[in-house]
Structure 1
């Protein structure tokens, strides 16, 4: 697979719109192209998927490891890929460039295109661009000027090329119709953007007019990764909650599950009860926005509670954990764990984390280590103290406990990638397989 990365000096530079537009423009021209996003983001991948018409994946060395990134790339559906870099090009974990777009680009040997938006400056843009391109190991090979007039582009073109030696692929004019709003988890979800497909097509048409796509394609080179085999098949069924309330799943997790076992998708909002399964997987999302509807589906709440009480295996992350509490705010939920989940006005324990298991559980043995990520504004108030995670913020001192357990239920705020925690993933499947049909 050949690929290129779209990056920028900082967040809020318009990378997502540019990435979507480039993907759609290349698809319009007949290229078999798919998309990826670096980092742990769930939401931008949904936008990228809308642009390409193909599932978009994540690339993250902390969550997936180098081998896991290779498996994620193998799951891509295309001869070419466009990778959107998270945050600024060099912004990694804590105050380092580790796991940054720069770090991932170096590891995969992918050329990067810098989206640069001049802000109250002209020639000052040139040394800024040159500094990023000249940093040791930088893979930046070209620049796109964003939100500029044609006149400004022409004025900056010659000095950028002269002093940086980079290709200048073109420019994108400022257009309010292309802007995306924000919510408490980064961007709003793709399904909530009015006329998103038309907006993407508008961006693609602008890019076809103003960007040298032939040169962009020439900058795409074969990505450097080693193919990894899928694990053996398990004869189990995994029920996955998937609807507007529960939509935060890494594509790679679901793909890996589909390769290893049978998946049954269901909706806690719409379906009457849990389908027969060996393992229930409750992912994240925005259950707080749908708490009234979730509370109204009493047969589903009772079905999941009975499954848990009967020894059924459940693994839940973030929003799924909230759903298993007695309440989200004042709305009645499943009630596996006593207490309630409350929304706050600020992020709580957020960022990359390192997990050590304090006790044996479905994810492995005591002392086993996992990598993960937290990003949430809710807190839980619970009398359940049976926690199995010892959590430490990566490259920082902050530490806390998590991972609540009840019988064969394990739930907490951390999100994990199965690709980077393969032993824990296989442990979870074996744990479920050894318990037959659980409580059903």
Structure 2
């Protein structure tokens, strides 16, 4: 499957809109397109999935390692893969869009804000192309999409200024209907605030899919090919209950695949009033429990999760899942809501983010996702802070990142683990969890 990376010259230049328009343009041209996202984000991929009608692959060398990243790419399916970058092309010390493009040996098409420039867009693109020589990455900056560019003289001025080695791949006109609302943790999700379809169709018409296909190429394959994904057999396979609703929506597609390969996955919706279904273990992913705290506090599911935890069932909570497993959650309006009460902590929503980084943890003891002394790599991004009891037990020391208190991460009680750290199945964490079922 050929691929191309759409990389921004900076954050906020409209990479997500450019990616969605590119996905729509390829589909309109009769191509089957596979979306992907560089970095650990969950929100942009939700918009990709809505437009492409298939999950967006997560590509992050810190979370997955180079060969794991290549395996995750290889699990995609389509004529062409369109990868949305993170931040600016070269930004990010632990992982960057440039690092993803280099790991796959895929070309980069720059998304440049052309709202106030013509020749300067070409100068910016040339600067990004030449800067690659000053990095450790063997990078091919091959083309440009002019974001927020008008037609006529504006477009022709940009196109004519570009040198021959930089392919002009079209433009996206300024349109308020293409703007995606923002809140804490980034954009609103594709389920909540989908981009207007008519505006997306208009944006797709001014992109050049023929040139994007000419630029795209086959990636470097993984050393170890991905295994064939398969549904777990009924009967003897363990049952894992996975929270899946508006409060718990941050799950990588590869995580769902790994869980289904080894267990019977039983989804339930705590914020919608579902109770915990019969199961051998529970996975509470990240999401927005702070926006659904009242429904979670009044519903039956968290009390049932607490009962299951007390009886020794393995329970894993990531970020939003950690919050749900705590004693109380105080929301932005100051209201405190009862949560599951499994972990000895109270959580409060803050006005500014409390952590944003790639993370590395070292296990202090045997825990649900790692053995003693093992290291896990992940990602943290949250606006809440946890105040833990003095006798709380932690599963990890923090080698990189913020964790729960700056030095420690992973509250544990019974066979329950709650952590602010999101991990990818390539880390082995979910295999360790499934081994406990």
The alignment's TM-score, normalised by the length of structure 2, stands at: 0.91
Match of 1:344 in 2: 350
Query: Which of 235, 238, 241 is the aligned partner of 1:236?
Result: 238
Q: Distance in 2 between matches of 1:79 and 1:173?
A: 26
Match of 1:51 in 2: 51
Q: Distance in 1 between matches of 2:290 and 2:406?
A: 26
Between stretches 51-60 and 125-134, larger displacement belongs to 125-134
Q: Distance in 2 between matches of 1:356 and 1:302?
A: 31
Query: Which of 416, 431, 439 is the aligned partner of 2:423?
Result: 416
Q: Is the 8 A contact 2:115 2:148 kept in 1?
A: no
Query: Which of 321, 326, 337 is the aligned partner of 1:331?
Result: 337
Alignment of 1:322-401 (within 5 A): 322-329=323-330, 330-383=336-389, 384-393=391-400, 399-401=406-408
TM superposition shift of 1:281: 0.4
TM superposition shift of 1:365: 1.9
TM superposition shift of 1:282: 0.4
Query: Which of 413, 431, 437 is the aligned partner of 2:436?
Result: 431
TM superposition shift of 1:192: 2.0
TM superposition shift of 1:369: 0.5
Q: Distance in 1 between matches of 2:274 and 2:121?
A: 58
Query: Which of 84, 109, 113 is the aligned partner of 1:113?
Result: 109
User: 1:119-155 CA distances to partner (integer Å, 9 max, x unpaired)?
Assistant: 6444333332111112222221111111122221212
Match of 1:220 in 2: 216
1:68 is aligned to 2:61: no
TM superposition shift of 1:300: 1.9
Match of 1:435 in 2: none
For the structure 1 residues 302 and 125, does the alpha-carbon distance in structure 2 shift closer, same or farther, using more than 3 Å as the test? closer
Match of 2:249 in 1: 247
Alignment of 1:2-17 (within 5 A): 2-17=2-17
User: 1:296-328 CA distances to partner (integer Å, 9 max, x unpaired)?
Assistant: 11x323211110111111011000110011111
Q: Is the 8 A contact 1:18 1:203 kept in 2?
A: no
Q: Is the 8 A contact 1:153 1:171 kept in 2?
A: yes
Match of 2:296 in 1: 294
> What secondary structure, in the 3-state scheme, does the structure 1 residue paired with 2:145 have?
strand
> What secondary structure, in the 3-state scheme, does the structure 1 residue paired with 2:247 have?
coil
Between stretches 174-183 and 230-239, larger displacement belongs to 230-239
For the structure 1 residues 16 and 231, does the alpha-carbon distance in structure 2 shift closer, same or farther, using more than 3 Å as the test? closer
Match of 1:170 in 2: 170
Q: Distance in 1 between matches of 2:339 and 2:122?
A: 55
> What secondary structure, in the 3-state scheme, does the structure 2 residue paired with 1:99 have?
coil
Q: Distance in 1 between matches of 2:104 and 2:310?
A: 46
Match of 2:204 in 1: 207
TM superposition shift of 1:260: 2.0
Match of 2:140 in 1: 139
> What secondary structure, in the 3-state scheme, does the structure 2 residue paired with 1:87 have?
strand
Match of 2:305 in 1: 304
For the structure 1 residues 212 and 180, does the alpha-carbon distance in structure 2 shift closer, same or farther, using more than 3 Å as the test? same
TM superposition shift of 1:82: 0.6
Q: Is the 8 A contact 1:238 1:261 kept in 2?
A: yes
TM superposition shift of 1:374: 0.6
User: 1:393-439 CA distances to partner (integer Å, 9 max, x unpaired)?
Assistant: 269xx9510101101001111111111x12x332221122xxxxxxx
TM superposition shift of 1:25: 1.6
Q: Distance in 2 between matches of 1:300 and 1:138?
A: 49
TM superposition shift of 1:55: 1.1
The alignment's TM-score, normalised by the length of structure 1, stands at: 0.90
Q: Is the 8 A contact 1:21 1:201 kept in 2?
A: no
Match of 2:154 in 1: 152
TM superposition shift of 1:159: 1.9
Query: Which of 410, 416, 419 is the aligned partner of 1:403?
Result: 410
For the structure 1 residues 275 and 380, does the alpha-carbon distance in structure 2 shift closer, same or farther, using more than 3 Å as the test? same
RMSD over aligned CA atoms reads: 2.0
Q: Distance in 1 between matches of 2:180 and 2:377?
A: 31
Q: Distance in 1 between matches of 2:201 and 2:348?
A: 41
> What secondary structure, in the 3-state scheme, does the structure 2 residue paired with 1:363 have?
coil
User: 1:317-350 CA distances to partner (integer Å, 9 max, x unpaired)?
Assistant: 0001100111111111111123321011111122
Q: Distance in 1 between matches of 2:91 and 2:283?
A: 32
Q: Distance in 2 between matches of 1:38 and 1:47?
A: 14
> What secondary structure, in the 3-state scheme, does the structure 2 residue paired with 1:370 have?
strand
TM superposition shift of 1:272: 4.2
Q: Is the 8 A contact 2:50 2:191 kept in 1?
A: no
Match of 1:99 in 2: 95
Match of 2:40 in 1: 40
Q: Is the 8 A contact 2:148 2:171 kept in 1?
A: yes
Q: Is the 8 A contact 2:115 2:149 kept in 1?
A: no
Q: Distance in 2 between matches of 1:115 and 1:402?
A: 37
User: 1:352-409 CA distances to partner (integer Å, 9 max, x unpaired)?
Assistant: 01110011112222110010111001011121520011113269xx951010110100
> What secondary structure, in the 3-state scheme, does the structure 2 residue paired with 1:192 have?
coil
Question: How many pairs are equivalent?
Answer: 417
> What secondary structure, in the 3-state scheme, does the structure 1 residue paired with 2:355 have?
coil
